[in-house]
Copies of this chain bind each other. A is one copy, B any other.
């Protein structure tokens, strides 16, 4: 009943608004916003902005907890929850990044003891590798790839496997921890027992207008419609699906064209006579390619954001809640694809379709499909990840979150200069609304959350290949919190305080990602890294039970004479080469079925798949256990609630008792004059009690 009582308050509050919002939508007003509050004269709530300035929106206080309650008091629950969530996330990134650093340290420490990379760097056992491109490229010594081999060991070592498990559990822990925090916030903010049900929500102006038009159309027919049916939305849905598919296609084609770029440019550079260019083909190509895809990602990110909004408008959702949900889902899908497509390519597809010497895959029938670096794909994946993650964060933070708002503000300020000046002349302090007007309008928390979620993806999805991701995420977020705080306090108009119990759909997206991360990491470890082949070699093939001879085991033989004419290197520096090696498990030329996948191939494949099953089920089981062990409601809150319930019952009973005493005494004193109210009073009171039994609330 209190619940309902409070809800009444909410619904009244929310009703007070749409009128204006409709008018704005119709263009009658230009803007409507609560004023920022800078007076220091009154009590706490009004002193907020100053405190917020000092205690919250300064980089100086990055090490402090945020004054969440003040934030909530000033900006409303919804914003408060966002910052609370961001805080919890950042806080939990600390242990993750510590472990990450340790794991990386382990890699650094053991790099000199790692036999495979030592063998790769050893010139004495000279593996003559088959040329990396047709004609132009020469045979090459594996020992020249020593660098990448050592580098890849930093990320491709047993510790990363442990780290992948750790991070999967970390994700679960994070979600559970947030649940608890959310509940205690709900409790201390008096949100327990509120449901945002859409009945109380006012339909969006867009929806109303369209409904109106429909009504007018339908007038001739007698039946009145108060709802938009799926019929009205059908065209919208069609456009939605088709354009989403189109944008998926766009993303994929971008990835593919970057691949083509890499292939062609490297081929061309290889053909050039200048040894200077030849020497650092791979570096230049990789670098440029990554930067290109980064730029494309950033551009598409913005485009997709606005497209998603446009598409959601077409769906004509009834309330703001549903609008937001649909928008978020779309935007997330698109941006997720956009950010991760190139990474998925490198992780799982690059080099898988390269074919084998004498039978390479060709695109545009004279460019060979690219292969991974000799050190394995993991190192490339790592480079890709780090550059995209860092680049995205730096650029988005600096340009899109600081630069552009400042610009907009400047522009508006110039537009608005007149009024302020005039007031200046009239010797009175500039009015608050004039000060606030130039600020950017508050456009919801979606972009803020989205940025963090995508980052969460970098931290969880491919963490097996880049243990330092949490560290960078942590550094970013420590700044991000204060950056957003500054933005909210100084750059944006004060948002309309909105109530919210939880972070809504974002939670589902987070937990979904957590689940997805498990399987992705399993595949990264078993297929992208060399972890499994090493195990298999050590325990099945190695004569000594050590890793000695691993490199030799991973390289197959190829008979140069069976290379297609023209693809043979014109003049080899290594003299007359009869047999070259390539990284694959295939039968040697002298076996009956030459160049077919060897037994080892199938054996390793089986091991990899077995590992995926083991890893996935183990981690899933563990995370279930973790989620089951940690109670959702903190013990203290639980007891608090119980105590309150008890008190409530007492109050209620005392209250009832006294009411009846009151009535009795009335009757006792006043049975003389027959006023009608006691009877009617008792009626209602009985009706009231009647309700208590009928509806349990």
Chain A residues in the interface with B (C-beta under 8 A): 1-8, 190-194, 197, 199, 519, 598-599, 602-603, 605-606, 609-610, 612-613, 616-617, 642, 644-649, 651-655, 658-659, 661-662, 665-666, 669-670, 675, 677, 680-681, 684-685, 687-688, 691-693, 695-697
12 interchain pairs (CB within 8 A)?
A: A1-B1, A1-B697, A4-B648, A5-B649, A6-B696, A190-B693, A598-B599, A599-B602, A609-B609, A651-B687, A658-B680, A662-B681
**How far apart are the CA atoms of A603 and B610 in the complex, in Å?**
13
Q: Which residues of chain B have C-beta atoms less than 8 A from A654's C-beta?
A: 684
The 6 A-B pairs of least Cβ separation, nearest first, read A602-B602, A609-B609, A606-B606, A644-B695, A599-B599, A605-B606
Cβ contacts under 8 Å, A658 to chain B? 680-681, 684-685
A192 in contact with B696 (CB, 8 Å)? yes
A662 touches B677 (CB 8 A): yes
Question: What is the CA–CA distance of A684 and B657 in the complex, to the nearest angstrom?
Answer: 11
Choose among B645, B661, B684 the residue that contacts A7 (Cβ–Cβ < 8 A). Answer: B645
Q: Determine the distance from Cα of A348 to Cα of B666 in the docked complex, in whole angstroms.
A: 82
Cα–Cα distance between A605 and B677 once the two chains are bound (Å): 86
Residue in B closest to A193 when the chains form the complex, CB atoms: B696
For this chain, the copies found in one complex come to 2
Residues of B within 8 A of A693 (CB): 190
- Bound-state CA distance A324–B680 (Å) is 50
Q: Are B662 and A697 in contact (CB under 8 A)?
A: no
The interface residues of chain B lying within 8 Å CB-to-CB of A669 are 670
Contact of A2 among B599, B670, B695 (CB under 8 A): B695
**A669-B655 Cα distance, complex, nearest whole Å:** 23
Is there contact, CB below 8 Å, between A2 and B697?
A: yes
Q: Which residues of B contact A649 (CB under 8 A)?
A: 4-5, 7-8
Q: Which of A7, A199, A666, A697 has the most CB of B within 10 A?
A: A697
Which residue in B602, B605, B652 is a CB contact (below 8 Å) of A1?
B652
Q: How far is the CB of A495 from chain B (nearest CB, A)?
A: 24
Q: What is the CA–CA distance of A659 and B194 in the complex, to the nearest angstrom?
A: 26
Q: Write out the residue numbers on chain B whose beta carbons fall within 8 Å of the beta carbon of A675.
A: 665
What's the Cα separation between A192 and B3 when bound, in Å? 14
Cα distance, A693 to B5, chains bound together (Å): 9
With contacts A4-B652, A655-B685, A655-B688 known, is A695 near B647, CB below 8 A? yes
A602 and B612 contacting across the interface, CB-CB below 8 Å: no
Residue in chain B with minimal CB distance to A605: B606
Please determine whether B519 and A696 come into contact, CB atoms closer than 8 angstroms: no
Does B651 contact A691, Cβ atoms closer than 8 Å? yes
CB-CB < 8 A to A688: which residues of B? 651-652, 655
Known: A599-B599, A652-B688, A655-B684. 18 other contacts (CB 8 A): A1-B1, A1-B648, A1-B652, A3-B696, A3-B697, A4-B649, A5-B692, A6-B696, A190-B696, A191-B696, A192-B696, A519-B617, A606-B606, A613-B616, A648-B691, A648-B695, A654-B684, A662-B681
Q: How far is the CA of A612 from the CA of B608 in the complex (A)?
A: 13
Which residues on the B side are within 8 Å of A666 (C-beta)? 662, 666
Closest to A656 in B: B5
Q: Which residues of B contact A647 (CB under 8 A)?
A: 691, 695
Residues of B within 8 A of A610 (CB): 609
Contacts of A598 in B (CB 8 A): 599
| Cα-based distance from A680 to B659 in the complex (angstroms) | 11
> A696 to chain B: which residues have CB within 8 Å?
2-3, 6, 190-194
Q: Looking at the complex, which one of B3, B7, B677 makes contact with A665 (CB distance below 8 Å)?
A: B677
Give Cα A646–Cα B7 distance, bound, in whole angstroms: 10
Q: When the two chains form their complex, are residues A645 and B4 in contact, meaning their CB atoms are under 8 A apart?
A: yes
User: How far, in angstroms, from A616 to B617 measured CA to CA in the complex?
Assistant: 10
Could you say which residues of chain B place their CB within 8 Å of the CB of A199?
Answer: 642
Q: How far is the CB of A87 from chain B (nearest CB, A)?
A: 24
User: Cβ of A677 and Cβ of B652 under 8 Å apart?
Assistant: no
Distance of A107 from chain B, by nearest CB (Å)? 28
Closest to A508 in B: B628
A693 to B9, alpha carbons, bound, how many Å? 11
Closest to A653 in B: B8
Report A196 CB to chain B, min CB distance, Å: 12
B697 adjacent to A644 (CB under 8 Å): yes
